[in-house]
C-alpha cells in the first residue's frame, strides 16, 4: 500500500501543495505514480472557488470508490479547499472516503497514511474516517518540500528524469480581503506569511538543483509580510523579497501570482524597471470595470485607479504582458455596467485572461444578493470579452513573427516529439531541440503563431556550447479554455 497518485484541481497554489505532499510522502518511502490505475492510494487535492469545481471532485471520488469493492485496502483521501469547506459533510455523499484533510494540515498526510497502512497490515478495522480540518499556527511554513526530478513514475513504471527547471515557492497563505464572491478566506484562513530568510533559503536550494525560474505564490502575494516587516525607504516587504531572490545566483527568472491591485504601489512598478530577472508579465485581476459592482464585490479600488496601475507598469515596461480575472454577471450587473467592464477590458489590451460567468457560491455574501443575472445574459457577456481577447492575442502574437524571443526550455511537449518552453512574457513556445538544452535559456525566432502558442526555430549559431536540431512545424489547438473559466 505504498503507491500514491495525487490528482490536483484548481489553482497553482493547489499544484504547489500537491507537490509538497508528494515530496513528504516520498521521504516516508511512498512511491508517487503518474497513473491512477496503478495506485494503492488516491489523493484528490480539491478546489472550492466554484461549486462546479467541488461537484467535479465529488463526482471523481464517487467513481473511484467502486475500487474498494474489489480491493478493500484501497485508500481514498480528499485534501485541500473542498475538504476545508465541507469537512464531515462530505461523508453524506462519500461514506467510503478514508481521509479528509484541510488546507492547514497537508503536512499531516504522511502520518495519517502511515496509520492507515499499519492498521490494514495488522488486519485492524479502520473505523471512522480520519477528518482533520483544524487551524494550525505556523502551517504556512510547512509547504517547502519539492519533488525531485526522479520522484514521479509514469504509467510504464519508468521514472521521469526530466530535470526541474521552474518551481513554485509558497510565500504566503490565507486572505483577509473578504471579496463578496470568494470562498478563499474560509478555505485558506487568515493571511499568514513565511519568514523571508526561509523563502530565500528555499530559492537558493532550488537554484543549486538547477531551477532557473521561480514563481512566488500566495493568495494575495503582494500583501506578503505587511504585518511582519517594515517598509524600508518606501520599499514594501514584498519588493524587498523580490530583491533578495533577484540576488540569487542561478535564478534567471522571477514571476509571482496572485496579486491584488492595491499592492501595486510605486515601488513595485519601479521594480520592473530595475530588477532584470523579474519577467515583464503581470497577472492583475480586475474582476469588473464598474465602480458600483467593484464596491458590491468589496474590491477596494476604482476603475480609474486600476487603469492608472496598468499605465504605470507600461510606462516602466512598454512590452509588458498582462493577464487578468473577470467575473461577468455578478448580481445586479446592468447592461451599462457590463459595458463599463467591456470598455476597460478593451482599453487595458490584455494578452491573456480568465473570464468567469458568476455562479452562486454558498457561504459568500454574494450568494444572498438579489437580482441574479440569467444564464443566457452571462453567456453573452462572457463571449463578448472572449472575442476581444482573441483579437488581442492574435494581434500581439502576430507582432512577434520574425522576432527572436528568449525561451526557457522546459522539456518535451505533449506529443513527445518536440520541445516546449515559455517566453519571458509567459507565452508557450514549441520547437525542435536537443534534450541537453532542457533548463537553458535559448533564442527562438518566431515563424508562426496561433492564438496562444508560438512556433519557431532556435537561433544557436555562435552561442557557446549549444546547437540546434532540424525543424518540423506542427499545429496545435487554439488554446481556448471553457471549463471553470475561459482563457486565451
**Which amino acids are annotated as binding site for [4Fe-4S] cluster, given as ranges?**
11, 47, 81, 175, 179, 182
Residue that is written with C-alpha cell 475561459 in the block: 486
How far is Cα 250 from Cα 209, in angstroms, rounded to an integer?
9
Please check whether residue 408 is in contact with residue 441, taking contact to mean a CB–CB distance below 8 angstroms: yes
Retrieve residue 385's grid coordinates. Answer: 470579452
Residues in contact with 284: Cβ distance below 8 Å, sequence separation at least 6, in sequence order: 259, 261, 264, 306, 309, 310, 313, 322, 323, 324
Nearest to 8 by CA among 58, 112, 80, 64: 80
Helix axes 109-121, 12-27, angle to 10 degrees: 50
Please check whether residue 425 is in contact with residue 319, taking contact to mean a CB–CB distance below 8 angstroms: yes
Across the strands, what pairs with 192?
Answer: 173
Whole-Å CA distances, 189 to 124, 159, 178 = 36, 36, 11
Across the strands, what pairs with 153?
Answer: 33, 159
Question: Angle 399-400-401 (CA atoms, 0-180°, nearest 5)?
Answer: 95
Residues in contact with 291: Cβ distance below 8 Å, sequence separation at least 6, in sequence order: 302, 303, 340
Retrieve residue 353's grid coordinates. Answer: 485572461
| DSSP secondary structure of 314-325 | HHH-TT-EEEEE
Q: Return phi, psi of residue 377, to 5°.
A: -70, -45
| DSSP secondary structure of 78-128 | EEEHHHHHHGGGGGGT-TT--EEE-TT-GGGHHHHHHHHHHHHHTT----S
Nearest to 409 by CA among 481, 468, 487: 468
Task: Report how far Cα 439 is from the mean position of its chain's Cα atoms.
Answer: 21
Rg of the chain over Cα atoms, rounded to whole angstroms, equals: 23
Binding residue positions: 11, 47, 81, 175, 179, 182
Amino acid at each position: 500500500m505504498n503507491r500514491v497518485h495525487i490528482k490536483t484541481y484548481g489553482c497553482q497554489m493547489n499544484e504547489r501543495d500537491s507537490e509538497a505532499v508528494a515530496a513528504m510522502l516520498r521521504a516516508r518511502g511512498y512511491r508517487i505514480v503518474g497513473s491512477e490505475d496503478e495506485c494503492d492510494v488516491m489523493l484528490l487535492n480539491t478546489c472550492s472557488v466554484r461549486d462546479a469545481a467541488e461537484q467535479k471532485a465529488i463526482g471523481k471520488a464517487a467513481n473511484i470508490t467502486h475500487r474498494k469493492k474489489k480491493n478493500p485496502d484501497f485508500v481514498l483521501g480528499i485534501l485541500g479547499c473542498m475538504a476545508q469547506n465541507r469537512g464531515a459533510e462530505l461523508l453524506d455523499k462519500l461514506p467510503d472516503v478514508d481521509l479528509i484533510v484541510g488546507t492547514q494540515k497537508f503536512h499531516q498526510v504522511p502520518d495519517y497514511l502511515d496509520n492507515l497502512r499499519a492498521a490494514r497490515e495488522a488486519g485492524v478495522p479502520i473505523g471512522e474516517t480520519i477528518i482533520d480540518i483544524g487551524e494550525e499556527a505556523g502551517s504556512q511554513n510547512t509547504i517547502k518540500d519539492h519533488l525531485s526530478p526522479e520522484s514521479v513514475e509514469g504509467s510504464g513504471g519508468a521514472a521521469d528524469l526530466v530535470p526541474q527547471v521552474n518551481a513554485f515557492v509558497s510565500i504566503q497563505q490565507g486572505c483577509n480581503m473578504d471579496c463578496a464572491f470568494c470562498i478563499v478566506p474560509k478555505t485558506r484562513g487568515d493571511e499568514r506569511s513565511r519568514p523571508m530568510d526561509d523563502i530565500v533559503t528555499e530559492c537558493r536550494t532550488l537554484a543549486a538543483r538547477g531551477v532557473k525560474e521561480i514563481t512566488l505564490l500566495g493568495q494575495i502575494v503582494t500583501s506578503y509580510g505587511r504585518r511582519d516587516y517594515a517598509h524600508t525607504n518606501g520599499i514594501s516587504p514584498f519588493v524587498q523579497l523580490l530583491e533578495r531572490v533577484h540576488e540569487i545566483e542561478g535564478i534567471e527568472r522571477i514571476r509571482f501570482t496572485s496579486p491584488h491591485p492595491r499592492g501595486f504601489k510605486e515601488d513595485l512598478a519601479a521594480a520592473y524597471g530595475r530588477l532584470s530577472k523579474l519577467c515583464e508579465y503581470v497577472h492583475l485581476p480586475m474582476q469588473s470595470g464598474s465602480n458600483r459592482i467593484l464596491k458590491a464585490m468589496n474590491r477596494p479600488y476604482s476603475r480609474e485607479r486600476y487603469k492608472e496601475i496598468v499605465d504605470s507598469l507600461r510606462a516602466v515596461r512598454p512590452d509588458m504582458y498582462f493577464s487578468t480575472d473577470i467575473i461577468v454577471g455578478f448580481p445586479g450587473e446592468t447592461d451599462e455596467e457590463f459595458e463599463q467592464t467591456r470598455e476597460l477590458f478593451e482599453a487595458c489590451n490584455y494578452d491573456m485572461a480568465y473570464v468567469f460567468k458568476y455562479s452562486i457560491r454558498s457561504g459568500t455574501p454574494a450568494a444572498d444578493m438579489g437580482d441574479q443575472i440569467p444564464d443566457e445574459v452571462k453567456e453573452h457577456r462572457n463571449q463578448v470579452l472572449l472575442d476581444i481577447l482573441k483579437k488581442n492575442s492574435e494581434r500581439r502574437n502576430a507582432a512577434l513573427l520574425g522576432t527572436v524571443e528568449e525561451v526557457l526550455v522546459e522539456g518535451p511537449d505533449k506529443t513527445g516529439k518536440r520541445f516546449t518552453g515559455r517566453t519571458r512574457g509567459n507565452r508557450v513556445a514549441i520547437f525542435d531541440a536537443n534534450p541537453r538544452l532542457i533548463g537553458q535559456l535559448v533564442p527562438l525566432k518566431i515563424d508562426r503563431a496561433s492564438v496562444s502558442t508560438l512556433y519557431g526555430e532556435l537561433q544557436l549559431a555562435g552561442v557557446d556550447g549549444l546547437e540546434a536540431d532540424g525543424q518540423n512545424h506542427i499545429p496545435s489547438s487554439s488554446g481556448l479554455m471553457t471549463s471553470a473559466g475561459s482563457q486565451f
